[in-house]
Amino acid sequence: AQSVSQHNHHVILSEAASLELGCNYSYGGTVNLFWYVQYPGQHLQLLLKYFSGDPLVKGIKGFEAEFIKSKFSFNLRKPSVQWSDTAEYFCAVTFNFNKFYFGSGTKLNVKP
């Protein structure tokens, strides 16, 4: 069955630390990959997406993600986090342009 896994459920970092959140998906043909962010009390917003081309994708607010096909991964990175990055981050995948599968989410807590 198709699935998306986010292994880090809760991450705590100090400001200026580097961030990497893992996202792995099951094999399922052509994939489109997304990272969404949900700030406290708010709705999900798109951070970045990958459809094709350069596997290193730049998103908003200094985030980037790298698609590694051989590892079925799409990890989210940011070189230096800020307190305002405190939020929950969701990886999402569509397989063969079909419906979205969301990961379980990673809560990021950035200490000022």
Partner 1 sequence: DAGVIQSPRHEVTEMGQEVTLRCKPISGHDYLFWYRQTMMRGLELLIYFNNNVPIDDSGMPEDRFSAKMPNASFSTLKIQPSEPRDSAVYFCASSLEGGLAGGYNEQFFGPGTRLTVL
**Residue ranges of E strands in the chain:** 4-5, 10-14, 19-21, 24-25, 31-38, 44-50, 56-58, 64-68, 73-78, 87-95, 100-102, 106-111
User: Is residue 82 involved in binding partner 1 (CB under 8 A)?
Assistant: no
Among 1, 29, 69, 99, binds partner 1 (CB under 8 A): 99
Q: For partner 1, what does the binding mask look like between residues 38 and 77, x meaning CB under 8 A?
A: ----xxxxx--x-x--------------------------
Q: Which is nearer to partner 1, 29 or 112 (CB)?
A: 29
Q: Which is nearer to partner 1, 42 or 84 (CB)?
A: 42
Task: Give, in degrees to the nearest 5, the angle at Cα 78 between 103 and 31.
Answer: 40
